[in-house]
Structure 1
Amino acid sequence: MSHYKLFALACTLFFASYSSSYAQNTTWNNKQCAVVLTYDDAIDVDLDNVVPALDSVKLRGTFYLIGSSPVVARRLPEWRRAAQRGHELGNHALMHPCDGSLPGRGFVTPDNDLSKYTVSRAVSEIRATNTLLNAIDGKTARTFAYPCGDLQIGGVKFYDQLKTDFVAARGVTDGLQTAAQVDLTNVDAYSINGQSAEYMLDLVKKAQQSHTVLVFLFHGVGGGHALNVDLKAHRQLLRYLKAHEKEIWVAPMVEVAEKIKAAQQGASTSKPSK
Protein backbone atom coordinates (compact mmCIF):
# COMPACT_ATOMS: atom_id res chain seq x y z
CA MET A 1 0.00 0.00 0.00
CA SER A 2 1.37 3.42 -0.95
CA HIS A 3 2.15 6.13 1.60
CA TYR A 4 -0.69 8.18 0.12
CA LYS A 5 -3.22 5.40 0.65
CA LEU A 6 -1.98 4.79 4.19
CA PHE A 7 -2.32 8.50 4.94
CA ALA A 8 -5.84 8.59 3.46
CA LEU A 9 -6.88 5.55 5.49
CA ALA A 10 -5.49 7.08 8.68
CA CYS A 11 -7.38 10.31 8.03
CA THR A 12 -10.60 8.41 7.37
CA LEU A 13 -10.30 6.45 10.60
CA PHE A 14 -9.45 9.58 12.58
CA PHE A 15 -12.38 11.58 11.30
CA ALA A 16 -14.77 8.66 11.76
CA SER A 17 -13.64 8.31 15.36
CA TYR A 18 -13.82 12.07 15.90
CA SER A 19 -17.28 12.25 14.34
CA SER A 20 -18.58 9.44 16.55
CA SER A 21 -17.12 11.01 19.69
CA TYR A 22 -18.46 14.43 18.74
CA ALA A 23 -21.94 13.01 18.14
CA GLN A 24 -21.95 11.33 21.54
CA ASN A 25 -20.74 14.45 23.34
CA THR A 26 -23.38 16.53 21.56
CA THR A 27 -26.06 14.05 22.63
CA TRP A 28 -24.86 14.30 26.24
CA ASN A 29 -25.06 18.11 26.23
CA ASN A 30 -21.41 18.40 25.14
CA LYS A 31 -20.24 16.35 28.11
CA GLN A 32 -18.51 12.98 28.39
CA CYS A 33 -21.57 10.96 29.37
CA ALA A 34 -25.06 11.08 30.81
CA VAL A 35 -26.12 9.79 34.23
CA VAL A 36 -29.77 9.28 35.16
CA LEU A 37 -30.83 8.76 38.77
CA THR A 38 -34.16 6.89 39.04
CA TYR A 39 -36.10 5.97 42.17
CA ASP A 40 -38.96 3.47 42.11
CA ASP A 41 -42.24 2.88 43.96
CA ALA A 42 -43.18 6.29 45.44
CA ILE A 43 -42.06 5.61 49.01
CA ASP A 44 -41.62 8.02 51.93
CA VAL A 45 -37.82 8.01 51.77
CA ASP A 46 -38.03 9.52 48.28
CA LEU A 47 -39.38 12.70 49.83
CA ASP A 48 -37.64 12.41 53.21
CA ASN A 49 -34.12 11.46 52.04
CA VAL A 50 -33.70 11.62 48.28
CA VAL A 51 -35.32 14.87 47.17
CA PRO A 52 -33.53 16.90 49.89
CA ALA A 53 -30.21 15.22 48.99
CA LEU A 54 -30.63 15.97 45.29
CA ASP A 55 -31.80 19.52 45.93
CA SER A 56 -28.82 20.18 48.21
CA VAL A 57 -26.42 19.66 45.30
CA LYS A 58 -28.81 20.98 42.64
CA LEU A 59 -29.16 17.67 40.80
CA ARG A 60 -32.43 16.31 39.39
CA GLY A 61 -33.77 12.78 39.24
CA THR A 62 -36.72 10.70 38.09
CA PHE A 63 -39.22 9.27 40.56
CA TYR A 64 -41.36 6.44 39.22
CA LEU A 65 -44.69 6.72 41.02
CA ILE A 66 -47.23 3.95 41.54
CA GLY A 67 -50.59 5.61 40.99
CA SER A 68 -52.33 3.77 43.84
CA SER A 69 -49.54 4.38 46.38
CA PRO A 70 -50.82 5.93 49.63
CA VAL A 71 -47.63 7.99 49.70
CA VAL A 72 -48.75 9.69 46.50
CA ALA A 73 -52.16 10.54 47.92
CA ARG A 74 -50.93 11.51 51.37
CA ARG A 75 -48.01 13.67 50.22
CA LEU A 76 -49.25 14.97 46.89
CA PRO A 77 -48.24 18.63 47.53
CA GLU A 78 -44.66 17.50 48.18
CA TRP A 79 -44.54 15.55 44.91
CA ARG A 80 -45.85 18.63 43.13
CA ARG A 81 -43.12 20.79 44.66
CA ALA A 82 -40.50 18.22 43.64
CA ALA A 83 -41.75 18.40 40.05
CA GLN A 84 -41.66 22.19 40.18
CA ARG A 85 -37.97 21.96 41.12
CA GLY A 86 -37.25 19.95 37.99
CA HIS A 87 -37.56 16.33 39.11
CA GLU A 88 -39.48 14.03 36.77
CA LEU A 89 -42.54 12.19 38.05
CA GLY A 90 -42.46 9.02 35.97
CA ASN A 91 -45.14 6.38 35.51
CA HIS A 92 -44.73 3.06 37.35
CA ALA A 93 -48.29 1.86 36.59
CA LEU A 94 -51.40 2.11 38.73
CA MET A 95 -51.11 -1.07 40.80
CA HIS A 96 -47.48 -2.12 40.12
CA PRO A 97 -48.54 -5.46 38.59
CA CYS A 98 -45.84 -8.13 38.25
CA ASP A 99 -45.92 -11.52 36.57
CA GLY A 100 -46.74 -13.95 39.37
CA SER A 101 -46.13 -16.98 37.16
CA LEU A 102 -42.38 -16.40 37.16
CA PRO A 103 -40.01 -18.01 39.71
CA GLY A 104 -39.48 -16.11 42.96
CA ARG A 105 -42.68 -14.11 42.65
CA GLY A 106 -44.40 -15.27 45.81
CA PHE A 107 -44.90 -11.62 46.78
CA VAL A 108 -47.34 -11.05 43.89
CA THR A 109 -50.98 -10.96 44.98
CA PRO A 110 -53.79 -12.35 42.76
CA ASP A 111 -55.19 -8.85 42.25
CA ASN A 112 -51.85 -7.51 40.99
CA ASP A 113 -50.69 -10.48 38.94
CA LEU A 114 -49.70 -9.25 35.49
CA SER A 115 -50.06 -12.76 34.06
CA LYS A 116 -53.80 -12.53 34.80
CA TYR A 117 -54.16 -9.09 33.18
CA THR A 118 -55.35 -8.41 29.66
CA VAL A 119 -53.22 -6.08 27.56
CA SER A 120 -56.07 -3.58 27.42
CA ARG A 121 -56.32 -3.52 31.22
CA ALA A 122 -52.59 -2.88 31.60
CA VAL A 123 -52.69 -0.10 29.00
CA SER A 124 -55.77 1.51 30.57
CA GLU A 125 -54.26 1.51 34.07
CA ILE A 126 -51.00 3.01 32.84
CA ARG A 127 -52.87 5.73 30.97
CA ALA A 128 -54.97 6.44 34.08
CA THR A 129 -51.72 6.93 36.00
CA ASN A 130 -50.57 9.39 33.34
CA THR A 131 -53.76 11.37 33.93
CA LEU A 132 -53.03 11.43 37.66
CA LEU A 133 -49.43 12.53 37.12
CA ASN A 134 -50.53 15.27 34.75
CA ALA A 135 -52.89 16.55 37.45
CA ILE A 136 -49.92 16.72 39.82
CA ASP A 137 -47.25 18.29 37.62
CA GLY A 138 -49.11 19.61 34.58
CA LYS A 139 -46.73 17.85 32.19
CA THR A 140 -47.44 15.55 29.26
CA ALA A 141 -43.92 14.35 28.40
CA ARG A 142 -42.65 11.65 30.76
CA THR A 143 -41.20 8.14 30.88
CA PHE A 144 -42.45 4.76 32.06
CA ALA A 145 -40.74 2.09 34.18
CA TYR A 146 -41.78 -1.56 33.92
CA PRO A 147 -42.88 -2.95 37.31
CA CYS A 148 -40.48 -5.80 38.12
CA GLY A 149 -39.05 -5.33 34.64
CA ASP A 150 -41.87 -7.43 33.14
CA LEU A 151 -42.47 -6.62 29.48
CA GLN A 152 -45.14 -9.05 28.33
CA ILE A 153 -48.62 -10.35 28.95
CA GLY A 154 -49.22 -13.71 27.29
CA GLY A 155 -46.26 -13.15 25.00
CA VAL A 156 -47.46 -9.70 23.94
CA LYS A 157 -45.38 -6.61 24.68
CA PHE A 158 -47.99 -4.32 26.19
CA TYR A 159 -45.79 -1.22 25.83
CA ASP A 160 -46.18 -1.44 22.05
CA GLN A 161 -49.58 0.22 22.54
CA LEU A 162 -48.05 2.96 24.71
CA LYS A 163 -45.14 4.18 22.58
CA THR A 164 -46.92 7.43 21.72
CA ASP A 165 -47.82 8.03 25.38
CA PHE A 166 -44.20 8.18 26.59
CA VAL A 167 -40.79 9.37 25.51
CA ALA A 168 -39.22 6.09 26.66
CA ALA A 169 -39.55 3.14 29.03
CA ARG A 170 -36.90 2.08 31.55
CA GLY A 171 -36.11 -1.58 32.11
CA VAL A 172 -33.96 -3.46 34.59
CA THR A 173 -31.13 -4.95 32.50
CA ASP A 174 -27.59 -3.80 33.31
CA GLY A 175 -25.74 -1.97 30.57
CA LEU A 176 -23.83 1.11 29.41
CA GLN A 177 -24.87 2.19 25.94
CA THR A 178 -24.20 4.83 23.34
CA ALA A 179 -27.17 6.80 22.06
CA ALA A 180 -27.29 4.64 18.95
CA GLN A 181 -27.43 1.45 21.01
CA VAL A 182 -30.25 2.48 23.36
CA ASP A 183 -33.63 0.80 22.92
CA LEU A 184 -36.06 3.50 24.03
CA THR A 185 -38.74 0.87 24.65
CA ASN A 186 -36.52 -0.84 27.25
CA VAL A 187 -33.68 1.38 28.48
CA ASP A 188 -30.94 -0.42 30.42
CA ALA A 189 -30.45 0.37 34.11
CA TYR A 190 -28.24 -0.81 36.96
CA SER A 191 -30.30 -1.97 39.94
CA ILE A 192 -28.65 -0.95 43.21
CA ASN A 193 -29.20 -3.07 46.30
CA GLY A 194 -26.46 -2.90 48.91
CA GLN A 195 -23.61 -2.09 46.54
CA SER A 196 -20.89 0.26 47.77
CA ALA A 197 -20.16 3.82 46.76
CA GLU A 198 -17.00 2.52 45.08
CA TYR A 199 -19.09 0.22 42.87
CA MET A 200 -21.35 3.08 41.78
CA LEU A 201 -18.47 5.49 41.20
CA ASP A 202 -16.69 2.86 39.10
CA LEU A 203 -19.78 2.64 36.87
CA VAL A 204 -19.79 6.42 36.45
CA LYS A 205 -16.12 6.44 35.51
CA LYS A 206 -16.72 3.67 32.95
CA ALA A 207 -19.54 5.75 31.44
CA GLN A 208 -17.20 8.73 31.23
CA GLN A 209 -14.54 6.69 29.45
CA SER A 210 -16.98 5.07 27.01
CA HIS A 211 -19.15 8.18 26.41
CA THR A 212 -22.31 6.27 27.24
CA VAL A 213 -25.50 6.71 29.26
CA LEU A 214 -25.66 5.23 32.75
CA VAL A 215 -29.01 4.76 34.46
CA PHE A 216 -29.19 3.97 38.18
CA LEU A 217 -32.27 2.18 39.56
CA PHE A 218 -32.83 2.78 43.29
CA HIS A 219 -35.58 1.76 45.67
CA GLY A 220 -34.86 2.45 49.33
CA VAL A 221 -32.23 5.05 50.13
CA GLY A 222 -31.28 4.85 53.77
CA GLY A 223 -34.12 2.37 54.43
CA GLY A 224 -37.78 2.24 53.57
CA HIS A 225 -37.58 -0.75 51.21
CA ALA A 226 -36.24 -4.31 51.09
CA LEU A 227 -34.00 -3.19 48.20
CA ASN A 228 -31.79 -0.51 49.68
CA VAL A 229 -28.67 1.57 49.29
CA ASP A 230 -26.78 3.08 52.21
CA LEU A 231 -27.48 6.77 52.73
CA LYS A 232 -23.76 7.58 52.95
CA ALA A 233 -22.97 5.66 49.73
CA HIS A 234 -25.76 7.49 47.92
CA ARG A 235 -24.43 10.82 49.21
CA GLN A 236 -20.92 9.97 47.97
CA LEU A 237 -22.33 9.28 44.50
CA LEU A 238 -24.12 12.63 44.43
CA ARG A 239 -21.00 14.46 45.58
CA TYR A 240 -18.92 12.90 42.81
CA LEU A 241 -21.52 13.79 40.19
CA LYS A 242 -21.67 17.36 41.46
CA ALA A 243 -17.88 17.69 41.57
CA HIS A 244 -17.68 16.52 37.94
CA GLU A 245 -20.73 18.28 36.52
CA LYS A 246 -18.57 19.86 33.81
CA GLU A 247 -17.90 16.37 32.44
CA ILE A 248 -21.12 14.53 33.39
CA TRP A 249 -24.64 15.43 32.35
CA VAL A 250 -27.04 14.50 35.14
CA ALA A 251 -30.68 14.88 34.15
CA PRO A 252 -34.08 13.19 34.51
CA MET A 253 -34.82 10.24 32.25
CA VAL A 254 -37.29 12.18 30.12
CA GLU A 255 -34.68 14.79 29.14
CA VAL A 256 -31.96 12.26 28.38
CA ALA A 257 -34.42 10.09 26.43
CA GLU A 258 -35.53 13.08 24.35
CA LYS A 259 -31.88 13.75 23.42
CA ILE A 260 -31.33 10.10 22.52
CA LYS A 261 -34.51 10.04 20.44
CA ALA A 262 -33.43 13.16 18.54
CA ALA A 263 -29.97 11.68 17.92
CA GLN A 264 -31.42 8.41 16.64
CA GLN A 265 -33.87 10.21 14.36
CA GLY A 266 -31.07 12.43 13.06
CA ALA A 267 -28.88 9.43 12.36
CA SER A 268 -31.66 7.62 10.48
CA THR A 269 -32.48 10.62 8.28
CA SER A 270 -28.81 11.21 7.46
CA LYS A 271 -28.33 7.68 6.10
CA PRO A 272 -28.19 7.61 2.28
CA SER A 273 -31.16 5.90 0.68
CA LYS A 274 -30.48 2.75 -1.28
Structure 2
Amino acid sequence: MKKLFVAVCCAFSLLNAVHAQTNAAWKGKKAAVVITYDDAIDQHLDNAVPVLDSLGLKATFYLTAFSQSMQKRLNEWKNLSVRGHELGNHTLFHPCVGNMPGREWVSKTNDLNNYTVKRIENEMLMTNLFLQSLDGKTKRTFAFTCGDMKIADSSFINGMKKDFVAARAVRNEMHKINEVDLYNVDCYVVNNHSFEEMKTWVDKAMQTNSLLVILFHGVGGGNGLDVTIENHRKLLAYIKQKEKEIWVAPMIDVAEHVLQWQQQNKK
Protein backbone atom coordinates (compact mmCIF):
# COMPACT_ATOMS: atom_id res chain seq x y z
CA MET A 1 0.00 0.00 0.00
CA LYS A 2 2.83 2.33 0.90
CA LYS A 3 4.57 1.58 -2.41
CA LEU A 4 1.36 2.35 -4.29
CA PHE A 5 1.00 5.66 -2.45
CA VAL A 6 4.59 6.61 -3.29
CA ALA A 7 4.07 5.64 -6.93
CA VAL A 8 0.91 7.74 -7.17
CA CYS A 9 2.64 10.72 -5.57
CA CYS A 10 5.56 10.39 -7.97
CA ALA A 11 3.17 10.24 -10.93
CA PHE A 12 1.33 13.37 -9.78
CA SER A 13 4.64 15.16 -9.21
CA LEU A 14 5.79 14.25 -12.71
CA LEU A 15 2.51 15.42 -14.25
CA ASN A 16 2.69 18.69 -12.34
CA ALA A 17 6.28 19.21 -13.45
CA VAL A 18 5.38 18.57 -17.09
CA HIS A 19 2.34 20.88 -16.79
CA ALA A 20 4.45 23.63 -15.22
CA GLN A 21 7.15 23.28 -17.87
CA THR A 22 4.58 23.37 -20.67
CA ASN A 23 2.81 26.43 -19.31
CA ALA A 24 6.14 28.16 -18.70
CA ALA A 25 6.60 28.21 -22.46
CA TRP A 26 3.85 30.83 -22.74
CA LYS A 27 4.62 32.99 -19.70
CA GLY A 28 2.70 30.70 -17.36
CA LYS A 29 -0.32 30.41 -19.66
CA LYS A 30 -1.67 27.42 -21.58
CA ALA A 31 -1.32 29.05 -25.00
CA ALA A 32 -0.48 32.24 -26.85
CA VAL A 33 -2.84 34.09 -29.19
CA VAL A 34 -1.83 36.77 -31.68
CA ILE A 35 -4.65 38.76 -33.31
CA THR A 36 -3.69 40.16 -36.73
CA TYR A 37 -5.37 42.35 -39.35
CA ASP A 38 -4.11 42.64 -42.92
CA ASP A 39 -4.10 45.30 -45.65
CA ALA A 40 -4.81 48.54 -43.72
CA ILE A 41 -8.48 49.04 -44.57
CA ASP A 42 -11.00 51.49 -43.09
CA GLN A 43 -13.01 48.74 -41.38
CA HIS A 44 -10.07 47.99 -39.09
CA LEU A 45 -10.11 51.53 -37.75
CA ASP A 46 -13.90 51.77 -37.66
CA ASN A 47 -15.00 48.29 -36.54
CA ALA A 48 -12.03 46.41 -35.06
CA VAL A 49 -9.96 48.93 -33.09
CA PRO A 50 -12.83 50.17 -30.86
CA VAL A 51 -13.56 46.59 -29.73
CA LEU A 52 -9.89 45.79 -29.14
CA ASP A 53 -9.39 48.96 -27.11
CA SER A 54 -12.59 48.46 -25.08
CA LEU A 55 -11.33 44.99 -24.07
CA GLY A 56 -7.73 46.05 -23.51
CA LEU A 57 -6.43 43.63 -26.17
CA LYS A 58 -3.36 44.46 -28.26
CA ALA A 59 -3.18 43.34 -31.89
CA THR A 60 -0.85 43.43 -34.87
CA PHE A 61 -1.90 45.41 -37.94
CA TYR A 62 -0.03 44.36 -41.07
CA LEU A 63 -0.07 47.54 -43.07
CA THR A 64 0.21 47.94 -46.81
CA ALA A 65 1.86 51.33 -46.87
CA PHE A 66 0.16 52.66 -50.01
CA SER A 67 -3.36 51.46 -49.20
CA GLN A 68 -6.25 53.89 -49.78
CA SER A 69 -7.01 54.03 -46.08
CA MET A 70 -3.38 54.75 -45.22
CA GLN A 71 -3.36 57.64 -47.66
CA LYS A 72 -6.56 59.16 -46.22
CA ARG A 73 -6.23 58.37 -42.49
CA LEU A 74 -2.52 58.34 -41.79
CA ASN A 75 -2.73 59.93 -38.35
CA GLU A 76 -5.29 57.36 -37.18
CA TRP A 77 -3.01 54.51 -38.24
CA LYS A 78 -0.06 56.20 -36.56
CA ASN A 79 -2.05 56.49 -33.34
CA LEU A 80 -2.48 52.70 -33.12
CA SER A 81 1.13 52.36 -32.01
CA VAL A 82 0.61 54.89 -29.23
CA ARG A 83 -2.25 52.68 -27.98
CA GLY A 84 -0.04 49.59 -27.81
CA HIS A 85 -0.82 47.91 -31.12
CA GLU A 86 1.93 46.69 -33.44
CA LEU A 87 2.40 48.16 -36.91
CA GLY A 88 3.65 45.29 -39.07
CA ASN A 89 5.05 45.26 -42.59
CA HIS A 90 2.69 44.02 -45.34
CA THR A 91 4.70 45.51 -48.23
CA LEU A 92 4.41 48.78 -50.05
CA PHE A 93 1.94 47.83 -52.80
CA HIS A 94 0.66 44.34 -51.80
CA PRO A 95 2.07 42.34 -54.75
CA CYS A 96 0.87 38.76 -55.28
CA VAL A 97 1.36 36.00 -57.81
CA GLY A 98 -1.28 36.80 -60.43
CA ASN A 99 -1.60 33.66 -62.53
CA MET A 100 -3.57 31.66 -59.98
CA PRO A 101 -7.32 30.96 -59.61
CA GLY A 102 -9.12 33.87 -57.94
CA ARG A 103 -6.23 36.28 -58.51
CA GLU A 104 -7.79 38.21 -61.38
CA TRP A 105 -7.65 41.34 -59.22
CA VAL A 106 -3.83 41.35 -59.25
CA SER A 107 -2.61 44.03 -61.66
CA LYS A 108 0.34 43.43 -63.99
CA THR A 109 2.29 46.09 -62.10
CA ASN A 110 1.78 44.31 -58.76
CA ASP A 111 2.21 40.75 -60.05
CA LEU A 112 5.09 39.02 -58.27
CA ASN A 113 5.80 37.18 -61.53
CA ASN A 114 7.07 40.53 -62.81
CA TYR A 115 9.20 41.25 -59.74
CA THR A 116 12.85 40.55 -59.02
CA VAL A 117 14.06 39.56 -55.56
CA LYS A 118 15.82 42.92 -55.31
CA ARG A 119 12.61 44.80 -56.08
CA ILE A 120 10.56 43.09 -53.36
CA GLU A 121 13.43 43.53 -50.89
CA ASN A 122 13.62 47.26 -51.68
CA GLU A 123 9.86 47.70 -51.28
CA MET A 124 9.88 45.82 -47.96
CA LEU A 125 12.75 47.96 -46.69
CA MET A 126 10.96 51.12 -47.82
CA THR A 127 7.88 50.00 -45.91
CA ASN A 128 10.00 49.40 -42.81
CA LEU A 129 11.32 52.96 -43.11
CA PHE A 130 7.79 54.30 -43.55
CA LEU A 131 6.58 52.41 -40.46
CA GLN A 132 9.54 53.65 -38.45
CA SER A 133 8.49 57.19 -39.29
CA LEU A 134 5.10 56.39 -37.71
CA ASP A 135 6.13 54.55 -34.53
CA GLY A 136 9.86 55.20 -34.15
CA LYS A 137 10.60 51.46 -33.91
CA THR A 138 13.24 49.46 -35.75
CA LYS A 139 12.19 45.92 -34.81
CA ARG A 140 9.49 44.68 -37.16
CA THR A 141 7.53 41.59 -38.21
CA PHE A 142 6.35 40.83 -41.74
CA ALA A 143 3.29 39.17 -43.29
CA PHE A 144 3.54 37.54 -46.71
CA THR A 145 1.00 39.00 -49.14
CA CYS A 146 -1.42 36.29 -50.29
CA GLY A 147 0.92 33.86 -48.54
CA ASP A 148 3.31 34.12 -51.51
CA MET A 149 6.89 33.56 -50.39
CA LYS A 150 8.89 33.29 -53.60
CA ILE A 151 10.02 35.23 -56.64
CA ALA A 152 10.28 32.45 -59.23
CA ASP A 153 12.11 29.77 -57.23
CA SER A 154 13.76 32.11 -54.73
CA SER A 155 12.45 32.54 -51.18
CA PHE A 156 12.92 36.27 -50.69
CA ILE A 157 12.65 36.22 -46.88
CA ASN A 158 15.99 34.40 -46.62
CA GLY A 159 17.90 37.57 -47.40
CA MET A 160 15.69 39.68 -45.11
CA LYS A 161 15.98 37.85 -41.80
CA LYS A 162 18.18 40.56 -40.34
CA ASP A 163 15.41 43.05 -41.05
CA PHE A 164 12.53 41.12 -39.44
CA VAL A 165 12.05 39.26 -36.18
CA ALA A 166 9.42 37.00 -37.76
CA ALA A 167 7.26 36.51 -40.86
CA ARG A 168 3.66 35.26 -40.92
CA ALA A 169 2.30 32.84 -43.52
CA VAL A 170 -1.37 31.88 -44.11
CA ARG A 171 -1.84 28.13 -43.54
CA ASN A 172 -4.51 27.05 -41.05
CA GLU A 173 -2.19 25.44 -38.51
CA MET A 174 -0.91 25.99 -34.98
CA HIS A 175 2.24 24.75 -33.26
CA LYS A 176 3.87 24.29 -29.87
CA ILE A 177 6.64 26.73 -29.03
CA ASN A 178 9.45 24.36 -30.00
CA GLU A 179 7.83 23.78 -33.41
CA VAL A 180 7.32 27.42 -34.44
CA ASP A 181 9.27 28.50 -37.52
CA LEU A 182 9.66 32.24 -36.97
CA TYR A 183 10.01 32.99 -40.68
CA ASN A 184 7.01 30.88 -41.62
CA VAL A 185 4.57 31.42 -38.73
CA ASP A 186 1.25 29.70 -39.39
CA CYS A 187 -2.12 31.33 -38.85
CA TYR A 188 -5.84 30.68 -39.14
CA VAL A 189 -7.47 32.82 -41.84
CA VAL A 190 -10.95 34.10 -41.01
CA ASN A 191 -13.21 33.59 -44.04
CA ASN A 192 -16.82 34.27 -43.02
CA HIS A 193 -16.47 31.88 -40.07
CA SER A 194 -19.00 31.80 -37.26
CA PHE A 195 -18.06 32.57 -33.68
CA GLU A 196 -18.49 28.90 -32.78
CA GLU A 197 -16.04 27.85 -35.51
CA MET A 198 -13.43 30.40 -34.43
CA LYS A 199 -13.91 29.51 -30.77
CA THR A 200 -12.76 25.95 -31.52
CA TRP A 201 -9.40 27.37 -32.63
CA VAL A 202 -8.90 29.08 -29.28
CA ASP A 203 -9.96 25.97 -27.38
CA LYS A 204 -7.59 23.80 -29.41
CA ALA A 205 -4.70 26.16 -28.72
CA MET A 206 -5.31 25.84 -24.98
CA GLN A 207 -5.66 22.07 -25.18
CA THR A 208 -2.45 21.63 -27.17
CA ASN A 209 -0.35 24.41 -25.55
CA SER A 210 0.10 26.04 -28.95
CA LEU A 211 0.54 29.41 -30.59
CA LEU A 212 -2.63 30.51 -32.37
CA VAL A 213 -2.34 33.38 -34.84
CA ILE A 214 -5.67 34.68 -36.15
CA LEU A 215 -5.82 36.61 -39.42
CA PHE A 216 -8.66 39.04 -40.12
CA HIS A 217 -9.13 40.93 -43.37
CA GLY A 218 -12.61 42.44 -43.62
CA VAL A 219 -14.46 43.22 -40.39
CA GLY A 220 -18.04 44.00 -41.28
CA GLY A 221 -16.96 44.56 -44.88
CA GLY A 222 -13.98 45.86 -46.79
CA ASN A 223 -12.77 42.48 -48.06
CA GLY A 224 -14.28 39.25 -49.35
CA LEU A 225 -12.43 37.41 -46.56
CA ASP A 226 -14.82 38.87 -44.02
CA VAL A 227 -16.20 38.39 -40.52
CA THR A 228 -19.39 39.92 -39.20
CA ILE A 229 -19.02 42.66 -36.62
CA GLU A 230 -20.92 40.52 -34.12
CA ASN A 231 -18.83 37.38 -34.59
CA HIS A 232 -15.64 39.44 -34.43
CA ARG A 233 -16.79 41.00 -31.16
CA LYS A 234 -17.82 37.64 -29.70
CA LEU A 235 -14.44 36.08 -30.49
CA LEU A 236 -12.47 38.92 -28.96
CA ALA A 237 -14.69 38.84 -25.87
CA TYR A 238 -14.10 35.08 -25.56
CA ILE A 239 -10.33 35.55 -25.82
CA LYS A 240 -10.52 38.24 -23.16
CA GLN A 241 -12.60 35.93 -20.96
CA LYS A 242 -9.84 33.29 -21.21
CA GLU A 243 -6.99 35.72 -20.59
CA LYS A 244 -5.94 33.93 -17.38
CA GLU A 245 -5.22 30.90 -19.56
CA ILE A 246 -4.04 32.66 -22.73
CA TRP A 247 -1.16 35.04 -23.28
CA VAL A 248 -2.49 37.63 -25.77
CA ALA A 249 0.13 39.88 -27.33
CA PRO A 250 1.25 41.43 -30.63
CA MET A 251 3.35 39.29 -32.96
CA ILE A 252 6.58 41.15 -32.20
CA ASP A 253 6.35 40.34 -28.48
CA VAL A 254 5.44 36.69 -29.05
CA ALA A 255 8.12 36.23 -31.71
CA GLU A 256 10.85 37.63 -29.48
CA HIS A 257 9.69 35.34 -26.67
CA VAL A 258 9.67 32.30 -28.99
CA LEU A 259 13.18 33.15 -30.21
CA GLN A 260 14.50 33.46 -26.65
CA TRP A 261 12.79 30.23 -25.54
CA GLN A 262 14.09 28.27 -28.54
CA GLN A 263 17.64 29.53 -28.01
CA GLN A 264 17.55 28.58 -24.33
CA ASN A 265 16.06 25.14 -25.00
CA LYS A 266 18.21 23.97 -27.89
CA LYS A 267 19.00 20.28 -27.66
Change (3 A) 1:79 1:18: same
Q: Which residue of 135, 147, 150 maps to 1:152?
A: 150
Separation in 1, partners of 2:161, 2:75? 29
Separation in 1, partners of 2:114, 2:10? 58
What is the CA distance between 1:20 and its match in structure 2? 5.2
What is the CA distance between 1:13 and its match in structure 2? 11
* Contact 1:24/1:178, CA 8 A, preserved across alignment: no
Cα distance per residue 1:73-126 (max 9 Å; x no partner)? 221111121111110010000110001133332221100000110000000000
What is the CA distance between 1:212 and its match in structure 2? 0.5
Q: Which residue of 30, 33, 57 maps to 1:32?
A: 30
Separation in 1, partners of 2:116, 2:19? 44
SS of equivalent to 1:164? helix
26-35 or 166-175, which deviates more: 26-35
Code of the aligned partner of 2:136? G
Does 2:103 match 1:96? no
Separation in 2, partners of 1:106, 1:82? 32
Q: Which residue of 100, 122, 125 maps to 1:124?
A: 122
Q: Which residue of 193, 196, 199 maps to 1:195?
A: 193
Q: Which residue of 238, 242, 257 maps to 2:236?
A: 238
What is the CA distance between 1:167 and its match in structure 2? 0.8
Q: Percent identity?
A: 49
What is the CA distance between 1:67 and its match in structure 2? 1.2
Give the aligned partner of residue 222 of structure 1: 220
Give the aligned partner of residue 110 of structure 1: 108
**1:1-274 alignment to 2 at 5 Å?**
15=14, 21-268=19-266, 271=267
SS of equivalent to 2:173? coil
For these two proteins, the number of residue pairs brought into alignment is 264
Change (3 A) 1:139 1:19: farther
Structure 1, unaligned runs of 5 or more: none
TM-score, normalised on structure 1? Answer: 0.91
Change (3 A) 1:154 1:12: farther
Code of the aligned partner of 1:247? E
Cα distance per residue 1:183-218 (max 9 Å; x no partner)? 111100000011100011111011111111101011
What is the CA distance between 1:27 and its match in structure 2? 2.8
* Contact 1:64/1:89, CA 8 A, preserved across alignment: yes
What is the CA distance between 1:19 and its match in structure 2? 5.4
> Alignment RMSD, CA only?
2.1
Separation in 1, partners of 2:132, 2:141? 12
Cα distance per residue 1:37-77 (max 9 Å; x no partner)? 10000000111111111000000101000011121122111
Separation in 1, partners of 2:22, 2:122? 36
Code of the aligned partner of 1:41? D
Code of the aligned partner of 1:97? P
* Contact 1:151/1:159, CA 8 A, preserved across alignment: yes
